[in-house]
Amino acid sequence: MKIKKLPPVNGVRMVAEREPQQDAYMIWPERPDNWRDGAKPAQHAFAKLANLIGKFEPITMFVSSKQYLNARHLLNDTVRVLEMSSDDAFIKDTGPIYIDVAGQLRGVAFGFNAWGGLLDGLYFPWDQDQLIASKLAELNYVPYYDERNLNVEGCSIITDGQGTLITTEDVLLSEGRNAGQSKEEIETVLKRYLGVSQIIWLQHGFFLDETNGAIDNMMNFIAPGEVVLTWTDDKQDPMYETVRQAEAILNRSKDARGHQLKVHHLRMPAVQTVTKTETESIDPINGLLPRTAGQRLTTSYVNYVLVNGAVIVPQFDDHNDADAVSQLKALFVDRQVIPFNAREMVLGGGGLHTVVHTRPDATSFGGK
């Protein structure tokens, strides 16, 4: 149910991904103008990921009417399959942002315009994706606030759950999303709806990220006060300067509690590109970004997924894969660290983190 007022001024807290979760949600990939081979390889990869998450917590797969039986067939019995229309599968961007309002779980439905609307968005129309935040909240009887006047995707903001939010100028200040809104104006809305008190702005996200550069390919929180940043020492890589600039910003910032952030580097895989075969089987319609052979893929190990008791880490058949896993094992000592090949998700313009939306367990809020 939509809450037809603003959140309270006090007692609001954006919930962190690492907190206990009630369940998880994904959307079945279907569009043949984004996912190669009629989305079949992606569907198998999504099914594998959902089946894996089902070992750790309840998970629901949303699917169109037409693909219902196929999804039901490919998914384990532990995965619940429900119908929901969508324009694409990036539920972390389109689902509600969860906040803890005095111990109660609430959602926030921001605007969504396919990462840039008619200016530089990735597809048209996006009317179904725009409804996912409210539909998902309504499914679970989670009352939600509605602020459609600001376009904010879930992957464009990360939090420590203690009042700090990190985002990128590339995304939130992009003309396609929030033209005419200043950084200060956007901060006011984020603070009001998400209960954050400290907002750290990186300038850039990942080079060539179709979203303009969402934060979730650049970095994420391990715990309050501690982050991982994607990294490269290759001076030829356009990311060389970007990650250093990001680190400099982080080093001169304080979190909401006034502490400096500890920054761990996660060395990215070697440059990966799309093959000719992979591009040829995509329908070249609808104004999606062209997928051309040789195009660089947005590959980053910080794009992991947290579920109860586990970290699912993207893998790319790269020599850095194992290092990323062992580094994350050292950082998440209480979780299983599970490698998962993310190429199909990345080929579609996303990553593991973009295709999973988790709902916090409100019964855990009391203890904070």
- Give the binding site for a second copy (CB under 8 A): 1-2, 64-65, 68-69, 77-78, 80-85, 128, 131, 135, 138-139, 141
Closer by beta carbon to a second copy, 29 or else 41: 29
- Overall residue count recorded for the chain in this entry: 368
CB burial class (10 A; 0-12, 13-18, 19+) of residue 163?
buried
Is the separation of the CB atoms in 304 and 313 below 8 Å? yes
Closer by beta carbon to a second copy, 1 or else 248: 1
E-assigned strand segments in the chain = 12-14, 21-27, 59-63, 79-83, 97-101, 104-111, 144-151, 157-159, 164-168, 198-202, 219-223, 226-231, 262-267, 305-307, 310-315, 336-341, 357-360
* Helices and strands in the chain, H and E counts: 12, 17
Closer by beta carbon to a second copy, 26 or else 215: 26
Q: How far is the CB of 84 from a second copy (least distance, A)?
A: 5
Closer by beta carbon to a second copy, 78 or else 245: 78
Is the separation of the CB atoms in 355 and 45 below 8 Å? no
Closer by beta carbon to a second copy, 81 or else 114: 81
Helix (H) or strand (E) holding 249: helix 239-251
Neighbour order of strands in the sheet with 357-360? 79-83, 59-63, 21-27, 357-360
Closer by beta carbon to a second copy, 128 or else 181: 128
